[in-house]
Amino acid sequence: MTIAKTLVLRFWKKWKGKTLNEQIEQLVTLMDDLYVDAHCHVTTSLERRNVTPKIPEAAIERCFMSNNTFDWHQIKLMKSSNNMDLSSIGFGVHPWYSHLYYTGEAPATTQSHYLQVLQGGTADELEQIIAQLPPPINLSEYIANEFDPVRVCCVGEIGLDKLFRLPKNGFYQGDQHAPLGRVRVRMEHQVQIFKALCALAVRHSLPVSIHCVKCPSLMYDLCKEHLLPHAAVKICLHSFTGSLETLESFWLAKFPHERLFVSVSRYINFKNTEPGIQLLQKLPLKCVLTETDFTWDTTESDQLLQELEFLVRQIARAHELDSFEVAKGAIYQNFQRFKGH
Using CB under 5 A as the criterion, which residues of the chain lie in contact with Zn ion when the complex forms?
Answer: 157, 293
Smallest separation (angstroms) from Zn ion to the CB of 339: 17
Cβ–Cβ under 8 Å, residues 33 and 304 = no
Smallest separation (angstroms) from Zn ion to the CB of 66: 10
Q: Can you give the chain as a three-state secondary structure string?
A: CCHHHHHHHHHHHHHCCCCHHHHHHHHHHHHHHCEEEEEEECCCCCCCCCCCCCCCCCCEEEEECCCCHHHHHHHHHHHCCCCCCCEEEEECCCHHHHHHEECCCCCCCHHHHHHHHEECCCHHHHHHHHHHCCCCEEHHHHHHHHCCCCCEEEEEEEEEECCCCCECCCCCCCCCCCCECCCEECHHHHHHHHHHHHHHHHHCCCCEEEEEECCHHHHHHHHHHHCCCCCCCCEEEECCCCCHHHHHHHHHHHCCHHHEEEEEEHHHHCCCHHHHHHHHHHCCHHHEEEECCCEHHHCCHHHHHHHHHHHHHHHHHHCCCCCHHHHHHHHHHHHHHHHCC
Q: Is the dihedral of CA 180, 182, 187, 190 positive or negative?
A: negative
- Identity of the residue, 37 or 126, whose beta carbon is nearer to Zn ion in the bound complex: 37
Cβ–Cβ under 8 Å, residues 211 and 182 = no
- Identity of the residue, 62 or 113, whose beta carbon is nearer to Zn ion in the bound complex: 62
- Identity of the residue, 71 or 293, whose beta carbon is nearer to Zn ion in the bound complex: 293
- Identity of the residue, 71 or 157, whose beta carbon is nearer to Zn ion in the bound complex: 157
- Identity of the residue, 157 or 307, whose beta carbon is nearer to Zn ion in the bound complex: 157
Smallest separation (angstroms) from Zn ion to the CB of 253: 26
Smallest separation (angstroms) from Zn ion to the CB of 238: 6
- Identity of the residue, 37 or 157, whose beta carbon is nearer to Zn ion in the bound complex: 157
User: Half-sphere exposure of residue 23, counting CA atoms within 13 Å on the CB side?
Assistant: 15
Smallest separation (angstroms) from Zn ion to the CB of 40: 7
Smallest separation (angstroms) from Zn ion to the CB of 151: 19
CA distance 119 to 134: 17
- Identity of the residue, 143 or 236, whose beta carbon is nearer to Zn ion in the bound complex: 236
Smallest separation (angstroms) from Zn ion to the CB of 104: 27
Backbone angles phi, psi at 209, to 5 degrees: -115, 120
- Identity of the residue, 189 or 238, whose beta carbon is nearer to Zn ion in the bound complex: 238
Smallest separation (angstroms) from Zn ion to the CB of 211: 6
